[in-house]
């Protein structure tokens, strides 16, 4: 708790900004949902054909995973607030429309007839009889929608819309549990306050004893089903894990890492009887993979020398690549019992990039030149780049950037943000194929901040000792993939949309490493 409190105090301005963003996004969505949802619920009250169509369509939209929905709207709306608002509205409509219609339709017809018999007009019947009686049910749907919207708004950070989810995702990507909890608790408290406020009103209007009884019965059967399913799954997992030979290969959530993960996996599968468990695309990259390696949950993964030295070991920069590699091998072996078994041959260092047209217009060639004009640009990068000493924290000490705005994005949305003009400058990797595809200018690191990021393979010592044949196999990859080769492999996956599996297989076969 003390660590969480410390994080909240130290990052109070950052968290307060995210809280305001979260409230504004949620409130905007709630207002729109309420207006559209209630109006639609009223409209379909006496329209059976329209009712079936509307409820069926809204139910269908509700079944689409939220992450997929965010992604589907990127080509149409782009990333950011607009995308998040549309998705939140779509997901929030179902409980409001359904409860509005249900509440209005279940009012006792005898009461309506009595009102009509007393001379009430249709408008008076609706406003003074039907609506007041239906209001508790409508409020129940509204309550569900509000809590759900506040919680779902946490995912908006994946598409650069801000909110408290940004703190959670940054924490995941940097293995910062206190930041994860600070963001999570903030979202939970916000939703709880809203729920209790609406619940106090709802409680005074309607008692749901019968519904509670039915829910308890459903809950009982659900618990029995879940427990049975868990027993079956645990039995299956134990059976699968009984395999005599098995290693876990992991990768970070980038196309390049997926390719390298497949190259490693297929090389082993094609030359040994060892079974490979693939754990690719792990969020947070090194922040989460390295601790898992130390725990024995992962056996092998591709890593970069600069990341290992500056981010994991937190050592001062060594500019010479060979000296850096020798120092890393010794430090990893002595400190972690991990072995850097080979270098693959390419250097995927960090860089900053922007459209060539902008670079020409502003006469930008170096990072120093960008720093001098940084107040004119919006900078975008993935969450953990802002937390790393070999990322923005260290870069900003060497180059005094004062960007107009900084946007935190999922690693796979940076180029989309640049294309949509959400940001003007992004961080990138030198072997990223989209630099060539989008005609971007890579700015020169004139003060030599970024060290070498040569790719290599890291393996646990215990795994290497258990399967000595892996050492011979991986050494065959030494220096085999230069910058141009990796750029081409990335291009095939990212631009030509080939699968990493296919690209890796073709590469290994072309070099005679598998049949």
In order, the DSSP letters of 216-267 are: HHHHHHHHHHHHHHHHHHHHHHHHHTT-SSEEEEE--SSHHHHHHHHHHHHH
- Element of type H or E holding 409: strand 405-409
CB distance 392 to 381 below 8 Å: yes
CB distance 465 to 272 below 8 Å: no
- In degrees and rounded to multiples of 5, residue 161 shows phi and psi of -95, 5
Q: What are the tokens at 328? A: 């890393």
Could you give the 3-state DSSP secondary structure of residue 398? helix
- What is the rounded distance in angstroms from the CA atom of residue 489 to the CA atom of residue 433? 9
Q: What are the tokens at 293? A: 């390696």
- What is the rounded distance in angstroms from the CA atom of residue 159 to the CA atom of residue 79? 5
- CATH level 2 (architecture), domain 350-442: 3-Layer(aba) Sandwich (3.40)
Q: What are the tokens at 257? A: 């890492």
- What is the rounded distance in angstroms from the CA atom of residue 288 to the CA atom of residue 282? 7
- Could you check whether 246-348+452-510 and 350-442 share the same CATH topology? yes
- What is the rounded distance in angstroms from the CA atom of residue 101 to the CA atom of residue 98? 5
Farthest CA pair distance, the chain: 95
Domain ranges of the chain: 2-206, 209-242, 246-348+452-510, 350-442
Assign domain 246-348+452-510 to its CATH superfamily: Periplasmic binding protein-like II (3.40.190.10)
Assign domain 2-206 to its CATH superfamily: MetI-like (1.10.3720.10)
Which residues neighbour 231 within 8 Å (Cβ) at sequence distance 6 or greater?
none
CB distance 464 to 471 below 8 Å: yes
> Per-residue pLDDT for the chain (515 aa), expressed as one digit of tens each?
777 888 788 778 878 888 998 999 999 999 999 999 999 999 998 887 888 888 888 888 888 888 788 878 877 776 678 888 999 999 999 999 999 999 998 888 888 888 888 888 888 888 888 888 888 888 889 999 999 999 999 888 777 677 888 788 767 655 567 888 888 999 999 999 988 888 877 676 555 444 444 555 555 555 566 656 656 655 555 454 444 689 999 988 788 998 999 999 999 999 999 999 888 877 667 887 898 899 888 999 999 999 999 889 999 888 789 999 999 999 999 999 999 999 999 998 888 999 999 999 999 999 999 999 999 999 999 887 888 777 898 999 999 999 999 998 877 688 889 988 999 999 998 888 888 889 999 999 999 888 889 999 999 999 999 999 999 999 999 999 998 899 899 998 888 878 888 899 999 999 999 98
DSSP line for 309-339: IIIIS-PPP--SHHHHHHHHHHHHHHHHSEE
């Amino acid at each position: 708790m003390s660590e969480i409190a410390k994080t909240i105090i130290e990052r109070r301005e950052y968290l307060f900004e995210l809280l305001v963003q979260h409230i504004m996004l949620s409130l905007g969505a709630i207002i729109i949902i309420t207006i559209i949802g209630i109006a639609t619920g009223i409209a379909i009250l006496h329209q059976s054909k329209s009712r079936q169509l509307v409820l069926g369509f809204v139910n269908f939209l509700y079944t689409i995973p939220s992450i997929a929905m965010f992604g589907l709207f990127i080509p149409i709306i782009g990333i950011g607030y607009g995308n998040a608002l549309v998705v939140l509205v779509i997901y929030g409509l179902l409980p409001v429309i359904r409860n509005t219609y249900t509440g209005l339709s279940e009012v006792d017809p005898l009461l309506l007839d009595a009102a009509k018999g007393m001379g009430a007009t249709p408008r008076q019947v609706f406003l003074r009889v039907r609506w007041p009686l239906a209001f508790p049910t409508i409020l129940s749907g509204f309550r569900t929608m509000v809590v759900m919207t506040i919680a779902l708004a946490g995912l908006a950070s994946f598409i650069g819309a801000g909110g408290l989810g940004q703190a959670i995702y940054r924490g995941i990507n940097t293995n910062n549990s206190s930041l994860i909890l600070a963001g999570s608790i903030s979202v939970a408290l916000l939703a709880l306050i809203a729920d209790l406020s609406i619940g106090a009103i709802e409680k005074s209007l309607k008692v749901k004893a019968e519904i509670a009884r039915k829910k308890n019965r459903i809950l009982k059967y659900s618990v029995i089903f879940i427990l049975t399913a868990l027993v079956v799954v645990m039995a299956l997992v134990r059976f699968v894990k009984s395999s005599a030979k098995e290693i876990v290969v992991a990768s970070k959530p980038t196309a390049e890492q997926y390719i390298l993960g497949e190259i490693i996996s297929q090389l082993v599968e094609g030359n040994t009887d060892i079974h490979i468990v693939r754990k690719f695309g792990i969020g947070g990259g090194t922040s989460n993979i390295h601790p898992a390696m130390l725990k024995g949950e992962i056996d092998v993964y591709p890593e970069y020398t600069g990341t290992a030295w500056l981010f994991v070991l937190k050592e001062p920069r060594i500019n010479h690549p060979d000296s850096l590699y020798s120092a890393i091998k010794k430090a990893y072996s002595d400190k972690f019992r991990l072995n850097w078994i080979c270098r693959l041959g390419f250097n995927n260092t960090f860089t900053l990039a922007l459209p060539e047209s902008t670079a020409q217009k502003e006469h930008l060639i170096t990072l120093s030149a960008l720093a001098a004009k940084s107040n004119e640009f919006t900078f975008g990068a993935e969450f953990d780049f802002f937390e790393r000493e070999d990322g923005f924290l260290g870069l900003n000490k060497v180059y005094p950037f004062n960007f107009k705005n900084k946007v935190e994005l999922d690693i796979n949305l940076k180029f989309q943000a640049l294309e949509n003009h959400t940001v003007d400058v992004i961080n990138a990797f030198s072997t990223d194929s989209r630099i060539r595809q989008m005609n971007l200018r890579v700015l020169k690191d004139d003060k030599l901040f970024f060290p070498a990021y040569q790719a290599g393979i890291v393996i646990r010592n215990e795994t290497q000792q258990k399967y000595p044949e892996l050492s011979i196999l991986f050494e065959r990859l030494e220096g085999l993939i230069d910058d141009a080769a990796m750029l081409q492999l990335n291009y095939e996956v990212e631009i030509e949309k080939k699968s990493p599996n296919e690209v890796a297989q073709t590469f290994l076969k072309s070099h005679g490493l598998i049949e």
